Structure 1
Amino acid sequence: MSAPRSGQAVALLAHGSPDPEWLRPVEQIAGRLRVLAPELSIAIATLEHGPALADVIARLEEAGVRRVVVVPVFLSGGGRHMRRDVPELVARIQREHEGLEIALGGDALATDPLVLDALAAAALRRVELSSPA
């Protein structure tokens, strides 16, 4: 992994699943980010059944990244993971990497009003495209 021109990276953090297909939407988000922000290094991490955030951040640091923003790819900010587990994990990893700035990029991604609007629009499309049972 080569260092990004900006020295910054985004770590998309998802829950994870033993089913590899589960990660496909997160990989698609990462692909879109690479197009939208080619100056950033984009990585994917999971809480379970995938690349651990600590390992991903260590690789980013080895590649010359100086700042990582962890973006939680979760639907709800109200669960235990977003209220406790993710902030504690980011804080622990920050303590282990003193020369690196690690920031938690807000609450669950789907709590963003723009994401909520996009999800609502997608739900309406499904209603419009549905056929009678």
Structure 2
Amino acid sequence: MNKTSALILFAHGARDPRWAGPFQRLQKMTQEASPDISVELAFLEFMSPALPELVRRLTEEGIRNITVTPIFLGQGGHVLRDLPVLLDQLRGEFPALALTLSTAVGEDETVLTAIRDYCLRQL
């Protein structure tokens, strides 16, 4: 089956490669739960692939619909300022691509509830 849709989990990135471990596990879990779409991981800085690099590759592979979901706890400066600029540049480069931005995962009530439950289990 040719996949035409992708979900990009977008994370900050860090110099220490171990930092990416939880994000890689999340990508794998998400891909296993949704085999009909391509689930990828991109980074803002320090790690690869960078978002523009990944979007270019996906479009070359025939992906026509991409949703970018920031794996950030809040809608801070990177999500509110840096990411929209990147997406606008990509929309200019790929006008036929449907490129959607989700809110940061930490803005979702179910995510906050899961984090709260985890914290309370630590007592």
Is this contact kept in 2: 1:3–1:63, CA < 8 A? no
Match of 1:64 in 2: 62
TM-score between both structures, scaled by the size of structure 2: 0.94
Superimposed CA distance per residue, residues 72-101 of structure 1 (whole angstroms, 9 cap, x where no aligned partner): 000111x21121111111111111111211
CA 1:3–1:21: 2 relative to 1, 3 Å = farther
Aligned partner (choices 65, 88, 100) of residue 91 of structure 1 = 88
Identity %: 34
Separation of aligned partners in 2, 1:36 and 1:83:
29
Separation of aligned partners in 2, 1:126 and 1:60:
41
Aligned partner (choices 100, 103, 108) of residue 100 of structure 2 = 103
> Please, what is the CA RMSD of the aligned residues?
1.2
Letter in 2 for 1:38: P
Match of 1:125 in 2: 121
Deviation, structure 1 residue 111? 1.0
Runs of 4 or more off by more than 6 Å in structure 1? Answer: none
- Secondary structure, aligned partner of 2:122: helix
The answer as to 2:29 corresponding to 1:32 is: yes
Letter in 1 for 2:35: P
The answer as to 2:112 corresponding to 1:116 is: yes
- Secondary structure, aligned partner of 1:68: strand
Match of 1:130 in 2: none
Aligned length, in residue pairs: 122
Letter in 2 for 1:103: T
Match of 1:54 in 2: 52
Separation of aligned partners in 2, 1:3 and 1:114:
32
Long gaps (5+) in structure 1: 128-133
Deviation, structure 1 residue 3? 4.3
